[in-house]
Amino acid sequence: MAKGAEGKSLIAWKIREETSVPLAWIAAELSMGSASNVSAQVRRMGERVAKQRRLRRLLKGMRDAMEQHGHSFNRDWIFEGDPSSAVFLRKILAEGKPDALVGANDPIAALLLQGLAKAKINVPGDIRVVGFDDCGFATLVSPPLTTIHQPCREIALACFRTMEGRFENPLLPPRSSSLPAQLVIRESCGAYL
């Protein structure tokens, strides 16, 4: 197990695949009159910004949880890259094996599981892996993935109710909503060792 400066166990957090759109490219497309191309790129940029906000919230939740349990948080434990890449996995493991890898979503965590298996690293014996979303395939990977279940139905209902309220009163102020998520414990976290 890798230990931090204070002797705390390390947690590696993989966060993003891609975060920006080349604005110069959008400007060039605009000058060439390709409005549909620009529209698609701007939409994708909006999706990326939304993804960045979600990832920042996930990261803040991770940091807050660690601090509540008396652990320090180190930004050096955040790894960015392609989770299916052996080079990326070697980068994570370069300073010693972390106790756990937390993927920003279940597909990333599943790719980490595959990479660790190829590297002959036992999950959960050597490293534990946790995802976020509770995608349908989380029970189909090996070992089955521990994850945070997002209450998608409740999220959709909250969005609908917010939109409905906005239609009834367009002057309502912006608001944020938080819904509880549930930890779904499966074999990848080592709870059953």
pLDDT at 176: 77
Q: Which structural domains are found in the chain, ordered by start? A: 11-18+55-189 (3.40.50.2300)
Inform me whether the pLDDT recorded for 140 exceeds 80: yes
User: What are the φ and ψ backbone dihedral angles of 137, each rounded to 5 degrees?
Assistant: -85, 0
pTM given for the model: 0.67
Inform me whether the pLDDT recorded for 11 exceeds 50: no
pLDDT tens profile 38-71: 445 445 555 555 666 777 777 787 788 878 888 8
CA 92 vs. chain centroid, Å, equals: 16
Closest CA to 119 of 129, 105, 106: 129
Top-confidence residue, 94 or 75: 94
pLDDT at 60: 81
Closest CA to 117 of 138, 140, 92, 143: 143
Residues above pLDDT 70, as percent of the chain: 73
pLDDT at 84: 85
